[in-house]
Structure 1
Amino acid sequence: MNPRGAALLGAACLGRHFTTGLRHPKLVEAVEHCLQDQVPRDVSYQIVDSGSEMHYDVHIHAIAGSDLILLSFENATALAQAEQMRRDFVANVSHELRTPLTGLIGFIETLRGPAREDAKARERFLGIMASEAERMNRLVAGLLSLSRVEADGRLRPTTRLDLRRVLQSVLANLDPLARENRVDLQYTPPEAPLWITGDSDQLLQVFTNLVENAVKYGGADQRVEISVQNLPHDPVLRGPAIAVTVRDHGPGIDPIHLPRLTERFYRADSHRSRELGGSGLGLAIVKHILNRHRGRLRVASEPGQGAVFTVVLPPAQVPESDKN
């Protein structure tokens, strides 16, 4: 065994029967058959290592002119995880589209049949159909946006910008929504510029998503607070950082949901999210954008205590002309 083989199977099995180290039934069976007929075989198996599932592809070949066989272990965990993610993604998209499509088909059949001459029912059904079509449109737009963000994920932004302008644009754009929901947006912009290196359109998307969520999920007759803080040192970024916090005073989120909030299509409250027009992609897009900007998203919440979303970004280097 080479060192990696010893690390996988354990050096103690050297000199002992092969079943001491190869305990998976399919693998043992393939080795026994190869010893008998010298025919190469491939076997895949899974083990749990330190709480994580590991996938291995094993290639078994007989060594010509001897009674020995060679086993090569290939770690296929990343490929297996990617394939599982692809299956989950297709299943989620199919599920998200099936519900509004089923509703549209049902209403169309009703309008063609029993409600053909019922003007009142027709008007009501057309309103629901428009809502379901808009829901599908938001989903497709979210998927396209996520695809673009992932495509740009490895391209670091190069534009130096003042984050205050991004935040002011977000608040101006969302002021009508806040008024409609009777929510008070509270934000005092810092006097000094917040220089970062970033993509203004993508950062606008990040803070629009967070503030819009706070307005919608925080509830009516509440307030949403946006604050900015310069951090001398952030342990994750390993240096100075700019932290932008969006805080609402709504029903909050059960801590059990917090680790999964940025997964695609994950919703802490599926029914309420769909009612408010959520696609389940917003925070996934936020995560990918922040990864591109070498930033982080932190979430803290408890039921009944509101939710706090904090975006942490590395600052841009300040030119000497701005220091004077």
Structure 2
Amino acid sequence: MTHRDAKPILAGIPLPVMLIDTDYRITLTNPSLLELFGHDPGGMNALTLLRQAPVLAAMDTAIRDGQKGNARFIFNGLSGEVVYEFQASPLTDGSKVTGAVLSFEDRSQAEDSEIIRRDFVANISHELRTPLTGLTGFIETLRTTARNDPDARDRFLEIMENEAHRMNRMVSDLLSLSRVQADERVRPRNLVNVAGVVRSVIATLEGKLKDASVEVATTGLSEEAEVMADRDQLIQLFLNLIENAIKYGGRGKTVHVGLSQVPQDATLRMPAFRIDIRDEGDGIDPLHLPRLTERFYRVDDHRSREMGGTGLGLAIVKHIINRHRGRLKITSNQGVGSCFSVILPAP
């Protein structure tokens, strides 16, 4: 096959691909390879271009031994480090090796997914081990030393009930997170009045507000603010955020909920509606802000557990907002309070 014949074939391959001769000189490239390196490396020596020992060994395997070679190629581009599976396949003319086809398959997403999966398994194992260990210990105590102690039995049973409820909430949140992630790429297609949703959520939380002696001050919720959305997910989103504001704002404080229209959001590059949920709590150290939406990440692990938190609420919030093509902005001043702003694109 001549280069003239090979060129349209390479152009139709979505992966970055190049051909080299037996001197390792690059003889042909495709558009995807040009996009990867930012220039046409045609005529260069592939050894000079790639310069990673495993990659060079894979090319030697193809050129010298006539066998397929594989390696891990790490490319440092403008968007950071990208991991490729590099493959060198020999080109032959009869029994003679005339060159090799070099291809690059992006494996970053797969590797990131595997890391996330391992971290998730480790986290959920840790989160469940603590209450399960406690429950096992209490059961053993109730069977032995506390068998005839009514006060100890009642105290242990109450703790066991709380731990069981927390595990149940965690399983419920895990299922919610799974459903949200499954729908994340499906854009909502129904017009929903977000102001009405927020009013409904505040009414639902009336009991919790009363128990915590917390007032809600609202602005802009009387206006119509329609967005393309999944109503049930918006309810879940604002329930999470307003419940957090009640829990971490402190007794006797006020939660401020405001809705405003943004003529042109700089990040979304379109008109949007902004819903601010601000508490009057202790605030959050700026060090923690970038990680707040990570699964199981807690600023104060002990306090969060005491309040029944699962560490998944803000992760669910993030994925719901992603599905709605919006963004979440978190600001906080220690000693003053925190503000969680949901910006959703207007239709």
| Residues 63 and 314 of structure 1, relative CA distance in 2, 3 Å threshold | closer
Q: Where does residue 227 of structure 1 map in the other structure? A: 258
Native 8 Å contact 2:58 2:68 kept in 1: no
Deviation at 1:67, TM superposition (A): 5.1
SS in 1 for 2:325: coil
Given candidates 62, 71, 79, the residue that maps to 1:43 is 71
| Contact kept in structure 2, 1:9 and 1:21, CA below 8 Å | no
Q: CA contact under 8 A between 1:13 and 1:20: conserved in structure 2? A: no
How far apart are the structure 1 equivalents of 2:301 and 2:42?
Answer: 51
What is the CA distance between 1:250 and its match in structure 2?
0.8
**Equivalent residue number for residue 164 of structure 2:** 133
1:151-183 deviation per Cα after TM superposition (whole angstroms, max 9, x unaligned): 222333333333232122211122221222222
> Any conservation in 1 of the 2:195–2:259 contact (CA below 8 Å)?
no
Q: Which has the higher strand share?
A: 2
Confirm whether residue 20 of structure 1 aligns to residue 48 of structure 2.
Answer: yes
Pair 1:107-2:128 in alignment:
no
What amino acid does structure 2 have at the position aligned with 1:98? Answer: R
* Residue in 2 that maps onto 1:119: 150
Corresponding residue number in structure 2 for 1:171: 202
Alpha-carbon distance between aligned partners in 2 of 1:54 and 1:159, rounded to the nearest angstrom: 37
Question: Hey, what's the Cα distance between the residues in 2 that align with 1:197 and 1:74?
Answer: 36
Q: Kindly tell me the number of residue pairs found equivalent between the two proteins.
A: 315
Does 1:208 find its partner at 2:239?
yes
- Give the structure 1 partner of residue 18 of structure 2: none
Q: Cα–Cα, structure 1 residues 134 and 190, in superposed 2: closer, same or farther, change >3 Å?
A: closer
Q: Indicate how the Cα distance of structure 1 residues 13 and 304 shifts in structure 2: closer, same or farther if over 3 A, else same.
A: farther
**Which whole-Å CA distance do the structure 1 matches of 2:100 and 2:224 have between them?**
68
- Partner of 2:165: helix, strand, or coil? helix
Report 1 or 2 for greater relative contact order, CA contacts < 8 Å, sequence distance ≥ 6. Answer: 1
Q: Which amino acid aligns with 1:180?
A: D
Alignment of 1:52-63 (within 5 A): 52-63=80-91
Structure 1 runs (4+) deviating above 6 angstroms are: 9-13
SS at match of 1:29: helix
Shift of 1:139: 0.7
Equivalent AA in structure 2 for residue 144 of structure 1: L
Note if contact 1:218-1:251 (Cα within 8 Å) is conserved in structure 2.
Answer: yes
CA, structure 1 residues 182+115, in 2 after alignment: closer, same or farther (shift >3 Å)?
same
Residues 9 and 152 of structure 1, relative CA distance in 2, 3 Å threshold: closer
Native 8 Å contact 1:10 1:21 kept in 2: no
- Residue 57 of structure 1 aligns with an amino acid whose one-letter code is E
Change (3 A) 1:15 1:191: closer
Q: 1:165 to 1:33 in 2, by over 3 A?
A: closer
* Corresponding residue of 2:57: 29
Q: Do the aligned residues in 2 keep the contact of 1:252 with 1:306 (CA within 8 Å)?
A: yes
Q: For each residue in 1:29-51, what CA deviation from the matched residue of structure 2 results, as whole angstroms up to 9, or x when unmatched?
A: 33334444322222224344447
Unaligned residue ranges in structure 2 (runs of 5+): 1-25
Which of 310, 325, 330 matches 1:279? Answer: 310
For residue 256 of structure 1, give the secondary structure of its aligned residue in structure 2. Answer: coil
Identity %, equivalent residues = 46
Tell me the CA shift for residue 261 of structure 1. 1.6
Is there any run of 5+ residues in structure 1 with no aligned partner, and where?
317-324
Q: Which residue of 1 aligns with 2:336?
A: 305
Structure-1 separation of matches of 2:293 and 2:44: 49
Q: Distance in 1 between matches of 2:66 and 2:230?
A: 59
Partner of 1:319: none
> Helix, strand or coil: the match of 1:182?
coil
Aligned partner of 2:157: which letter? L
1:115, distance to aligned residue in structure 2 (A): 2.2
Summarize the Cα distance change of 1:120–1:225 in structure 2 as closer, same or farther, 3 Å threshold: same
Given the superposition, is the C-alpha separation of residues 213 and 80 from structure 1 closer, same or farther in structure 2, using an over 3 Å criterion? same
Q: For residue 292 of structure 2, what is the aligned residue in structure 1?
A: 261
In the alignment, which residue of structure 1 is the partner of 2:191?
160
Instruction: Give distance in 2, aligned partners of 1:154 and 1:22.
Output: 36
CA contact (8 A) 1:59 1:72 kept: yes
- Aligned partner (choices 189, 208, 223) of residue 192 of structure 1: 223
- 1:249 aligns with 280
Question: Which amino acid is the alignment partner of residue 162 of structure 2?
Answer: S
**CA shift at 1:190, angstroms?**
4.0
TM-score (norm 2): 0.82
2:274/2:344 contact within 8 Å kept:
yes
Question: Which of 109, 113, 121 pairs up with 1:90?
Answer: 121
TM-superposed deviation, 1:236: 2.4
Name the CA distance, whole Å, in 1 between partners of 2:175 and 2:268. Answer: 29
